[in-house]
């Protein structure tokens, strides 16, 4: 089993924290924007902090849109984090007209709540459907920073939600392709446990 994890560098990720967290759970991280390395990765993490439109623009500029779409189609272990989860969808209200990677059908929309936006800080996970890496996180608190969340066409891909005056999509998944709206690398022991599960996923 390979414990090497490739982290996609497109200029907008929390790379140092993710790299440090992967190392802490026994993984070996490779940070790169090289399409060939990304294409041939055994496990891939797409992190992200910032705006949907900028993210897609940077991925296109680096020649990574098709590479990531091919990788996702292969079904190999993939983890999207925060913005890296949002770009798996077809588009976002944050950037009208900008196409996402389109792996999941549906859009990313502004959280409609009376609570303060952005949704920032610790919130409790409510598991919704099976994920190979989330089973031990039931009822645990993880760390969020976001104003938009995914609204999938097929609600069965939602693996966890949280309550923020409304139901917020906390994670989604399909097979070994998993994605978190929250930041596991900032979620203390629970987050490290989730990353360890990802590192140990077998293709």
State the pLDDT at residue 1. Answer: 61
**At residue 28, does pLDDT exceed 90?**
yes
The answer to whether the predicted template modeling score (pTM) of the entire model surpasses 0.95 is: yes
**At residue 44, does pLDDT exceed 80?**
yes
Give the mean pLDDT of 30-53. Answer: 96
Selected catalytic residue, list 55, 82, 119, 162: 82
State the pLDDT at residue 3. Answer: 87
Report the mean per-residue pLDDT for the chain.
96
Residue with tokens 């999509």: 169
State the pLDDT at residue 136. Answer: 86
Give the mean pLDDT of 58-64. Answer: 96
* DSSP calls for 108-167: EEE---SS-SSEEEEEE-EE-S--TTTGGGTT-EEEEEESEEEEESSGGGEEEEEESSSE
CB 128 within 8 A of CB 192: no
pLDDT in tens, 129-160: 999 999 889 999 999 999 999 999 999 999 99
pLDDT in tens, 99-114: 999 999 999 999 999 9
**At residue 82, does pLDDT exceed 90?**
yes
User: What domain range includes position 48?
Assistant: 4-199
> Domain with 105 in it: what CATH number?
3.40.50.880
The domain tally of the chain equals 1
> Is there a catalytic annotation at residue 82?
yes
Q: Rounded to an integer, what distance in angstroms lies between the CA atom of residue 185 and that of residue 203? A: 23
**At residue 13, does pLDDT exceed 80?**
no
Give the mean pLDDT of 168-177. Answer: 98
Q: Which pair of tokens denotes residue 45?
A: 């993490």
Q: Give residue 191's pLDDT band: very low, low, confident or very high (50, 70, 90).
A: very high
Selected catalytic residue, list 149, 156, 185, 202: 185
State the pLDDT at residue 32. Answer: 96
Q: Give residue 2's pLDDT band: very low, low, confident or very high (50, 70, 90).
A: low
């Amino acid at each position: 089993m390979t414990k090497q994890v490739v982290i996609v560098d497109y200029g907008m990720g929390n790379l140092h924290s993710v790299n440090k967290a992967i190392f802490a759970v026994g993984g070996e991280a490779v940070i790169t924007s090289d399409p060939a390395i990304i294409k041939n990765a055994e496990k891939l993490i797409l992190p992200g902090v910032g705006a949907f439109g900028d993210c897609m623009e940077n991925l296109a500029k680096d020649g990574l849109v098709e590479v990531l779409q091919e990788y996702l189609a292969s079904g190999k272990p993939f983890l999207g984090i925060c913005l890296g989860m949002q770009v798996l969808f077809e588009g976002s209200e944050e950037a009208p007209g900008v196409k996402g990677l389109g792996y999941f059908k549906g859009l990313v929309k502004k959280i409609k709540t009376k609570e303060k936006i952005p949704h920032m800080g610790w919130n409790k996970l409510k598991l919704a459907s099976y994920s190979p890496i989330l089973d031990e996180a039931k009822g645990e608190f993880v760390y969020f920073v976001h104003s938009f969340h995914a609204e999938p066409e097929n609600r069965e891909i939602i693996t966890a939600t949280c309550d923020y005056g409304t139901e917020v999509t906390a994670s989604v998944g399909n097979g070994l392709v998993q994605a978190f709206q929250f930041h596991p690398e900032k979620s203390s022991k629970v987050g490290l446990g989730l990353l360890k599960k990802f590192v140990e996923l077998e293709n």
